[in-house]
Structure 1
Amino acid sequence: MSVTLKNLVSYCNDYLSVDRFKDYCPNGLQVEGKRNVSKIVSGVTASQALIDAAIEACADLLLVHHGYFWKGEAEPLTGIKGNRIRTLMKNDISLLAYHLPLDAHPVVGNNAQLAEIIGMQIEDGMDQGNPFSVGNVGSISQPMSAQAFSDLVSTKLSRQAELVLGDDRSVQRIAWCTGSAERMIERADQLGADLFISGEISEPVVHYAREAGIHYLSAGHHATERYGAKALGEHLSNAFGIEHQFIDIDNPA
């Protein structure tokens, strides 16, 4: 089975509502390869290691969360970026990348997938009432200590999360946004969350958590965003009857 690249890209753009987002990079097709797609390899970031793995897996298309052409980066196709794109084009592999639309999607999105894996019930977006909110607020069924919740997340994500204690409150109401969104802790605090989860940690966020009394959990940029591209790839496999393989290139960040 195969699907045309044109139809696959059009379907993804509609499914992820890409026109509703102002993003830091172009969403959708970034490198054009074969006209027909029989096999997708998905992963988090279009690194050289993932491209090489996709070639080894005989992929027609590489689907990622972190692609290329970010605002502020150098435009010439030289060095590492030039080598990556040259490798894709020499092997006729398309690159399909979705950033914020893949964070926000209510089913296959990174935030929705993280909620499912940890066992959090989504109640609303952090931008409340906005169906395209990047970040969610919700709860777990039973309250637990911040340390117990941190241990749970570490187990589920197979990565040691870093906990900053705000106060001695137990955890039930939670806000989260995957990747590099630690500064959204202030919005989480406004929403009455006991704890906020994101991927990375920064010096000011530690002080905010301690002074505001809200726990902060840094669970890893890569670790929190491993699931969106995989879920989207599985969705496309089912929708079009094509092959899909998720390849995880480990990253401690």
Structure 2
Amino acid sequence: MRRTELEGYINELLSVDQIGDYCPNGLQVEGGDSINTIVTGVTASQALIDAAVKADADALLVHHGYFWKSEPAAIVGMKKRRIQSLLQHELNLFGYHLPLDVHPELGNNAQLARLMGWDDYQPLSGITPNGVVMTATLSDEMSAESLAGQLEQVLQRALTCFVSTAQPIKRLAWCTGGGQGYIDAAAAAGCDAFITGEVSEQTVHSAREQGIAFYAAGHHATERYGIKALGEHLAKRFNLTHHFIDIDNPA
């Protein structure tokens, strides 16, 4: 298929034009016009680019791409080497950040819910963009420790931080990636637990003082599944070859 056709479809699927973000969503570095093989991964690191080249990919789709509002504009050093590799191999780079986080089916939050078996989830009200924080009520209560063990088993990694509570977990909220700042909104909404990827120093105090269990399960670990689901969806719809490549990251 054509590059423009692929970009147009994804942009519409993820409602890119309706979501403000900290980076451009869509095509970030232009490569060849024809796309038959796609590689998906979390972050457009040099290791992932090299793996995509080895897989003879025409397009690399990531959650964390380039050109963030806070990053230096100069294309030097590490940034230069990455972009040089993409251009040298005619490899298209597509990046989808918040639009991928919040998609109700393919998004990172939705995919984490699917993996964990959290049914009937919905966006936590008052948070924009809609769906960046999700909430669900468990069918059966569980202890904070049991939820911690389940997260570690499903994500196959140890929690970065865990703040327990004596009360059972019934209603929970989550935001994949770097969503620790939403813990106060989750507590205000009456949630018993909040799950995200990262932790800040003040997060632990917020959890302890508001009586809400907190879980930092890894930024990378909680955001592996949206981009993988997107790649699988595209492969099925357009008969493309798809490889999800997971470059391990303990953060």
- In structure 2, C-alpha distance between the alignment counterparts of 1:30 and 1:242, rounded to whole Å: 20
- In structure 2, C-alpha distance between the alignment counterparts of 1:29 and 1:43, rounded to whole Å: 15
1:251 aligns with 2:249: yes
Structure 1 residue 197 displacement after superposition: 0.3
Aligned to 1:195: 193
8 Å Cα contact 2:113/2:121 also seen in 1: no
Moved more, 80-89 or 156-165: 156-165
1:233 aligns with 2:215: no
8 Å Cα contact 2:197/2:220 also seen in 1: yes
- Partner-residue secondary structure (3-state), 2:121: strand
- In structure 2, C-alpha distance between the alignment counterparts of 1:132 and 1:188, rounded to whole Å: 14
8 Å Cα contact 1:122/1:136 also seen in 2: no
- Partner-residue secondary structure (3-state), 1:121: coil
- In structure 2, C-alpha distance between the alignment counterparts of 1:107 and 1:170, rounded to whole Å: 28
Aligned to 2:18: 20
Instruction: Identify the match of residue 220 of structure 2 among 200, 222, 226.
Output: 222
Aligned to 2:55: 57
8 Å Cα contact 1:125/1:131 also seen in 2: no
Aligned-CA RMSD value: 1.2
The runs of 4+ residues in structure 1 deviating greater than 6 Å are none
8 Å Cα contact 1:42/1:63 also seen in 2: yes
- In structure 2, C-alpha distance between the alignment counterparts of 1:84 and 1:126, rounded to whole Å: 37
8 Å Cα contact 1:180/1:221 also seen in 2: yes
Structure 1 residue 20 displacement after superposition: 1.3
- In structure 2, C-alpha distance between the alignment counterparts of 1:235 and 1:94, rounded to whole Å: 18
8 Å Cα contact 1:105/1:132 also seen in 2: no
Structure 1 residue 190 displacement after superposition: 1.4
- In structure 1, C-alpha distance between the alignment counterparts of 2:243 and 2:105, rounded to whole Å: 19
- In structure 2, C-alpha distance between the alignment counterparts of 1:62 and 1:123, rounded to whole Å: 30
1:207 aligns with 2:205: yes
- In structure 2, C-alpha distance between the alignment counterparts of 1:151 and 1:240, rounded to whole Å: 38
Aligned amino acid, residue 156 of structure 1: V
Structure 1 residue 21 displacement after superposition: 1.0
- In structure 1, C-alpha distance between the alignment counterparts of 2:212 and 2:193, rounded to whole Å: 6
Name the % identity.
51
- In structure 2, C-alpha distance between the alignment counterparts of 1:83 and 1:127, rounded to whole Å: 42
Instruction: Identify the match of residue 123 of structure 1 among 121, 124, 129.
Output: 121
Structure 1 residue 249 displacement after superposition: 0.1
Q: Could you list the runs of 5+ residues in structure 1 that have no partner in the other structure?
A: none
1:176 aligns with 2:174: yes
8 Å Cα contact 1:115/1:122 also seen in 2: no
- In structure 1, C-alpha distance between the alignment counterparts of 2:79 and 2:134, rounded to whole Å: 33
- Partner-residue secondary structure (3-state), 1:36: coil
- In structure 2, C-alpha distance between the alignment counterparts of 1:34 and 1:236, rounded to whole Å: 18
TM-score when normalising by structure 1: 0.96
8 Å Cα contact 2:63/2:100 also seen in 1: yes
- In structure 2, C-alpha distance between the alignment counterparts of 1:128 and 1:121, rounded to whole Å: 21
- In structure 2, C-alpha distance between the alignment counterparts of 1:126 and 1:159, rounded to whole Å: 27
1:89 aligns with 2:112: no
Structure 1 residue 130 displacement after superposition: 7.4
Aligned amino acid, residue 241 of structure 2: E
Aligned amino acid, residue 112 of structure 1: A
- In structure 2, C-alpha distance between the alignment counterparts of 1:204 and 1:12, rounded to whole Å: 37
Partner deviation per Cα, 1:57-114 (whole Å, 9 max, x = no partner): 0000000000000011100111101100010000000000000000000011000000
Count of matched residue pairs: 250
Aligned to 1:156: 154
Structure 1 residue 141 displacement after superposition: 2.0
